Amino acid sequence: MTDATRPIITRFAPSPTGYLHIGGARTALFNWLYARGRGGKFLLRIEDTDRARSTAQATEAILDGLRWLGIDWDGEPISQFARADRHAEVAREMLENGHAYRCYATADEIAAWREANPNQPFQSPWRDSNEQPDLPYAVRLRAPREGATVITDAVQGDVTFQNAQLDDMVLLRSDGSPTYMHAVVVDDHDMGVTHIIRGDDHLTNAARQAQIYDAMGWKRPVFAHIPLIHGTDGKKLSKRHGAVGLHEYAALGYPPEAMRNYLARLGWAHGDDELFTDAQAVEWFDLSGIGRAPARLDFKKLEHVSGWHIGQMEDAHLLAELNAFRAAIGDAALDATQTARLMPILPVLKEKAKTLPGLLEQASFALTERPIPIEEKASNSLDTVSRGMLNELTAALQHATWSRDELEQAAKTVAESHGLGLGKIAAPLRAALAGKTSTPSVFDMMLALGRDEALARLQDQAG
């Protein structure tokens, strides 16, 4: 099989020690887009070798985060810890072929050597020894000392590491357990991974891992190290910049479609395109579009992207998203009456909404039952004159056809009879219909509520 016909296989390999970080979510998305756009496979590996910190709850949180983001994977997730025997098998094979050796140096001896040789990679005295004392030992890679290891990176270009600056990394600890650096290579090889797309904080690891590939005679994968995400101040993203966990963005009410679009643009570009569909992202995504400079988190841009996707959604799909969001925050799904009131005005609301809770806030008039609670600011518009106008309007609307034109004309006629413009009756109408000062158009609300409910709310506040 030639490289041209070799199927594309990417992977996402999180450590289950906490929530799914937004940077990890973007890494998963890049790998998913690259594989899906080329008819390849996207695999999931849980790097759970840190038994003290790895938890089943954290693993499930990561899987839930990926599901929410809309990222599916091929096959079952692979446990790195469960493959420890295979990792040890490869290390023993490297011992047999001379590409690894037994190192009997103790922790104290290594610490003393490093103290005497600051800023130098550890050089084991056992590297060229034929002795095999009956003592605990670690298995170390017999890395080349001369020349350089060059990583041909699809994002960073050729990156050169002088071998003299790389130590003989440990493959197996003295208790026989494999190290993370070794396990990653064995797993990626056995899983057939062709492209490793990950953060550029792993770039130095790539040099050490490439030496294992070379020692085993395995074909190196294509490496693509992507810049990390920074905050608006240009510093590495942390909690001080706001939400960093994917679950926090879900709780803020950004739809998954918007997060996929936004995350794809964090460090990758397709011309000047800022807003695009999933199908376009899958078609367009390529490693050549990834920049070398760190991406910066921008909540205003995220809101813009989110608003566009909400506006593009089919109403039925948006309703499902709203109910999913309500379920996530512990609220019940919209009932039949609420849904019937919401659907007529949803096309109007979604054009201005930036987030799902923002849309629900504007839709609150349709979701609230009588008697409508009146906010203090809104109640200021319900003086004696205003209540009298509402009473007149209620009477005028009893036999209206309930069209927008007729509703507007009736309100205009009542206002003019008091020497006022249409705008002067809008405020008390808002208060009566929604109990708020910031709402959709009063006539859109009346149409959505229907004749009986709208008139009942006006009568509640009429003088």
Residues 399 and 421 in one domain: yes
334-371 residue pLDDT tens: 999 999 999 999 999 999 999 999 999 999 999 999 99
Residues 216 and 68 in one domain: yes
Residues 381 and 453 in one domain: yes
pLDDT at 25: 96
> Is 251 contained in some domain?
no
199-222 residue pLDDT tens: 999 999 999 999 999 999 999 999
Residues 52 and 201 in one domain: yes
> Is 273 contained in some domain?
no
Q: What is the mean pLDDT of residues 316-342?
A: 96
- Contacts of residue 440, Cβ cutoff 8 Å, sequence gap at least 6: 345, 348, 349, 362, 365
Within its chain, how far is the Cα of 89 from the centroid? 36
Strand order, beta sheet including 100-103: 100-103, 138-141, 170-172
- Count of domains observed in the chain: 3
Closest CA to 87 of 188, 4, 15, 195: 188
247-292 residue pLDDT tens: 999 999 999 999 999 999 999 999 999 999 999 999 999 999 999 9
Phi/psi of residue 328, nearest 5 degrees: -65, -30
166-189 residue pLDDT tens: 999 999 999 999 999 999 999 999
Euclidean distance between CA atoms 463 and 458, whole angstroms: 10
Strand order, beta sheet including 41-46: 9-12, 41-46, 78-79
Element (H, E) at 249: helix 246-251
Rounded-to-10 torsion of CA 120, 124, 128, 131: 170
Phi/psi of residue 42, nearest 5 degrees: -120, 115
Residues 423 and 454 in one domain: yes
In the predicted structure, residue 1 carries a pLDDT above the cut 80: no
Whole-number average pLDDT of the chain: 94
> Is 355 contained in some domain?
no
Q: What is the mean pLDDT of residues 20-28?
A: 95
- Contacts of residue 31, Cβ cutoff 8 Å, sequence gap at least 6: 10, 11, 12, 42, 195, 197
Confidence (pTM): 0.92
Q: Which of 239, 350, 354, 424 does the annotation list as catalytic?
A: 239
Residues 156 and 100 in one domain: yes
Q: What is the mean pLDDT of residues 142-146?
A: 96
Q: Which two tokens stand for residue 332?
A: 């019940």
pLDDT at 235: 84
> Is 158 contained in some domain?
yes
The Cβ of residue 122 has, within 10 Å, a number of other Cβ atoms equal to 17
pLDDT at 242: 67
Domain CATH number, residue 413: 1.10.10.350
Residues 163 and 187 in one domain: no
Residue 239 marked ligand-binding: yes
Q: Exposed, middle or buried: residue 194 (CB in 10 Å: 0-12, 13-18, 19+)?
A: buried
pLDDT at 232: 83
Could you tell me the residue range of the domain that residue 447 belongs to?
Answer: 368-461
354 included as an active-site residue: no
Q: Where are the beta strands (DSSP E) in 154-302?
A: 157-162, 170-172, 195-199, 222-226, 229-230, 295-296
Report residue 51's pLDDT band, with 50, 70 and 90 as the boundaries.
confident
Euclidean distance between CA atoms 258 and 242, whole angstroms: 18
Q: What is the mean pLDDT of residues 126-133?
A: 94
